[in-house]
Chain A
């Protein structure tokens, strides 16, 4: 039921520089080494031999990613994973991709320019719409003279107001004759002497001039025809560029495939850029490996490396425990629950991995809160539809459905009907107080287990004082048990005597004393902190236990909801009755099912995990291809 992350050993590998890449590739194939940087030997090992390799790898990877951003074809995986990639090969490919990217980028830039021209031309065509109805002789607008300059065009609306004022400084007048989407279509008139200054200003304001060629002295429709022709030309050009781009990409696919192969095989060694240190042809690296893989690693390296190497393995020291990565190994059935645990955090290496405990308690609580043979069956079978798309969700849903079926038999409930099945125990509605009481017992059990796990975690990492004296330690556990005992005595026998008082006071005194020692502040501040912490300890014990009442509350709620559906159905005719029953049951399955799933998760995270699980561990991230 309880598991801990896989036992790890620290591996220190010293080898010849010439073998480093081979070692990296071998270890990556095995996906067995979590490399770590070594900060201790910086003076003795000042060189980072993989850094130049990484730089070229990164450069190549960047170019490859940029080019393949335009590629839709799928790359195949390399067939031989033993090939070493030299720095020269990477450099050569990097140079090739550099020139290829220049070609692709050039086409992209041309496309951008053409799209911009198209946008501009479309705006100008819109401008012409206004002249259409006027049947104006455009040559009049072109009639700029020695003293007068006339311009027609568009300007972004955001720039208009400032441009208007700026133009007035150059003795130019601007008027809008049409407002489009974010663009003003304008005509300007002013002194020809100022036109150089104005030209500069207009460029800054992103003014696009409607150039009226000499030959268009007639009406605007001729000019529009010309602009439409320009637009068509641009569209053809864009099509041609797109075609050019796809032909280019197709022609370079073999090179890209080769780059992909090189990148896959080069990745392991490049990933060690900051890990691998060396001097004078010798290199050193460190990492964490699962303890049970020691022999296989040694054997593989002996087979693969050309020169002798030295491999040293150490158990993690207590001071290192926080930095050891956590590798969690679970069977397929627990994997989906592992993801839910990871949502809260990765277990620290020394911590208990709560996945299995979580799985059982989650499924159990779901069944308790949503016990119904029919609803459970619908959830279990219905979720199978999603097996291919969401396998993890399906596993959880099937198990939750089965648990619901199990508790459905216990409660004797089938699609809300309480009289069809004979309950193995009883329907929660028959004795709600007993059900509530049982929920409290379950909650107390859950919290005691959480407390025990917290104590275990403290002891493993050497936090002995915390394990014995803190609120989450043995003192806290004793206080909680004393509170349960006192509560029981008070409810059952109506007594709260010296024994109860002492059993509560003594562990509380220990906790307060511990907190006093841990707090570094002035007397009054210390007193305040201890007082608040003590209150928090009492309140969290009570509220944590009461929180589990929801387990009973939801089992009652389930029956109440079904009763409500039946009441509404009873008011209908035969057809309406069955429609209401079906829709009501769907409503219960979807809405209440989702709420119960969330409530279970809430109980696990906040009442369980927060008491014993830091979730501050590091995931085991092996070197891989």
Chain B
């Protein structure tokens, strides 16, 4: 990347990072009504959102589109492998659409309802959403999916559909797993010098995914240690293959927590439920990303920004949706940030 492009990216990243909402501050938004929330968000981020529009212009889509527009500006100076890596990383948003679509079709939900939940990804979209929506049954949808960039998950999707019916958590995990494996492969294809800090953030993300799903597979789905381990994704920062194999053999959540490496154990001490652990791990990931955002390596900073922005978008979408549906503040708080 030329020095001009680096300066451009660095300036842009600094500006955009200043507009990220601090996660401690986000909790202050719960007591406000919708109009006040949007005003506050506008004040903090500089983006103006409208509550009136529906469908493609809904508030969820507006939030996502603003994020994509910013990503588009940030991705501009990159080329080659780095560009491909970031394009793939941003595809994380598309996985939400993929899950909504598969869930909707598996459960025979009406197209109009599925459509309401889809996010318009603009230029980042890979999925032919309209064509997928127009499929008549699950088999047809899976055949069409086979022709997309997500063909890799179709076999598992079929298996889940045939064996587990509507229990689609396994499929969610399969989608996430193949995404992380591919993302890590793309990361490894980057120049070594550039990847130290990204690897750090990525490692935390993978640890989060692996630990959470290990607990779910073992103690919610009661899967065997072997299958639980197999369904995890690539090794992360702290939880390497050997750790995960050992943890998979444990018989309770407490046992798993007690066998964790010390640094992770400290963060999760005293937690009992998987939900609590999920929240703690998310905050831990965001903390690492926030730290990396202030460092010098541009690739790491951009990657950290994507993680933080994704979390912010997801948080605001859930908060606003909860408010629109008239849910109780405490319920929204619990759903959005867990028990902190």
Does any Cβ of B come within 8 Å of A105's Cβ? yes
Does any Cβ of A come within 8 Å of B140's Cβ? yes
A165 near B229 (CB under 8 angstroms)? yes
In the complex formed, the residue of A with least CB distance to B242 is A165
Does any Cβ of A come within 8 Å of B230's Cβ? yes
Query: Which residues of A from 60 to 110 have beta carbons under 8 Å from B?
Result: 62-63, 66, 98, 101-102, 105, 108-109
Q: A127 vs B249: C-alpha distance in the bound complex, in angstroms? A: 33
Q: How large is the interface on B (under 10, 10 to 19, 20 to 34, 35 or more residues)?
A: 20 to 34
Query: Scoring A residues 44 to 67 as 1 if CB is less than 8 Å from chain B, else 0, what string do you get?
Result: 000000000000000000110010
A200: chain B residues at CB < 8 Å are 223-224, 227
A166 near B226 (CB under 8 angstroms)? yes
A-B contacts at CB below 8 angstroms, number: 61
A166: chain B residues at CB < 8 Å are 226-227, 229-230
Query: Which residues of B from 203 to 245 have beta carbons under 8 Å from A?
Result: 223-227, 229-231, 241, 245
In the complex formed, the residue of A with least CB distance to B224 is A197
Does any Cβ of A come within 8 Å of B81's Cβ? no
B248: chain A residues at CB < 8 Å are 169
Does any Cβ of B come within 8 Å of A36's Cβ? no
A109: chain B residues at CB < 8 Å are 139-140, 143
Q: A205 vs B140: C-alpha distance in the bound complex, in angstroms? A: 24
Does any Cβ of B come within 8 Å of A430's Cβ? no
Does any Cβ of B come within 8 Å of A198's Cβ? yes
B224 near A105 (CB under 8 angstroms)? no
In the complex formed, the residue of B with least CB distance to A203 is B159
5 further interface pairs, Cβ-Cβ under 8 Å (given A62-B134, A108-B140, A197-B224)? A108-B143, A169-B224, A169-B226, A170-B225, A172-B226
Does any Cβ of A come within 8 Å of B136's Cβ? yes
CB of B240 to closest CB in A, whole Å: 11
Query: Which residues of B from 50 to 84 have beta carbons under 8 Å from A?
Result: none
Does any Cβ of A come within 8 Å of B251's Cβ? no
Q: A200 vs B156: C-alpha distance in the bound complex, in angstroms? A: 13
Write 16 A-B pairs (CB below 8 A) sorted by A numbering. A62-B134, A98-B136, A102-B136, A105-B139, A109-B143, A165-B229, A165-B245, A168-B245, A169-B225, A169-B249, A194-B226, A197-B226, A201-B230, A204-B156, A204-B230, A204-B231
B229 near A169 (CB under 8 angstroms)? yes
B230 near A162 (CB under 8 angstroms)? yes
Q: A28 vs B241: C-alpha distance in the bound complex, in angstroms? A: 66
CB of B154 to closest CB in A, whole Å: 11
CB of B79 to closest CB in A, whole Å: 25
In the complex formed, the residue of A with least CB distance to B133 is A62
Does any Cβ of A come within 8 Å of B259's Cβ? no
Query: Scoring B residues 290 to 331 as 1 if CB is less than 8 Å from chain A, else 0, what string do you get?
Result: 000000000000000000000000000000000000000000
CB of A113 to closest CB in B, whole Å: 10
B136 near A167 (CB under 8 angstroms)? no
Closest 5 CB pairs of A and B: A166-B230, A197-B224, A170-B226, A169-B226, A62-B134
A201: chain B residues at CB < 8 Å are 224, 226-227, 230
Query: Which residues of B from 146 to 168 have beta carbons under 8 Å from A?
Result: 155-156, 159, 163
CB of B155 to closest CB in A, whole Å: 6
CB of B55 to closest CB in A, whole Å: 12
In the complex formed, the residue of B with least CB distance to A59 is B134
CB < 8 Å: which of A62, A102, A105, A167 contacts B226?
A167
Q: A162 vs B178: C-alpha distance in the bound complex, in angstroms? A: 13
CB of B164 to closest CB in A, whole Å: 11
Given A108-B143, A165-B241, A165-B245, residue A204 in contact with residue B227 (CB < 8 A): yes
Q: A377 vs B337: C-alpha distance in the bound complex, in angstroms? A: 76
A172: chain B residues at CB < 8 Å are 226
CB of A209 to closest CB in B, whole Å: 15
Does any Cβ of A come within 8 Å of B126's Cβ? no
A226: chain B residues at CB < 8 Å are none
Q: A172 vs B227: C-alpha distance in the bound complex, in angstroms? A: 13
CB of B183 to closest CB in A, whole Å: 15
Query: Scoring A residues 439 to 483 as 1 if CB is less than 8 Å from chain B, else 0, what string do you get?
Result: 000000000000000000000000000000000000000000000
A62: chain B residues at CB < 8 Å are 134
A165: chain B residues at CB < 8 Å are 229, 241, 245
B134 near A105 (CB under 8 angstroms)? no
In the complex formed, the residue of A with least CB distance to B140 is A105
CB of B195 to closest CB in A, whole Å: 21
CB < 8 Å: which of A101, A197, A205 contacts B136?
A101
In the complex formed, the residue of A with least CB distance to B136 is A101
B224 near A206 (CB under 8 angstroms)? no
Q: A23 vs B226: C-alpha distance in the bound complex, in angstroms? A: 68
Does any Cβ of A come within 8 Å of B194's Cβ? no
Q: A198 vs B227: C-alpha distance in the bound complex, in angstroms? A: 8
CB of A157 to closest CB in B, whole Å: 14
Does any Cβ of B come within 8 Å of A163's Cβ? yes
Does any Cβ of B come within 8 Å of A112's Cβ? yes
Q: A170 vs B226: C-alpha distance in the bound complex, in angstroms? A: 6
CB of B31 to closest CB in A, whole Å: 35
Does any Cβ of A come within 8 Å of B137's Cβ? yes
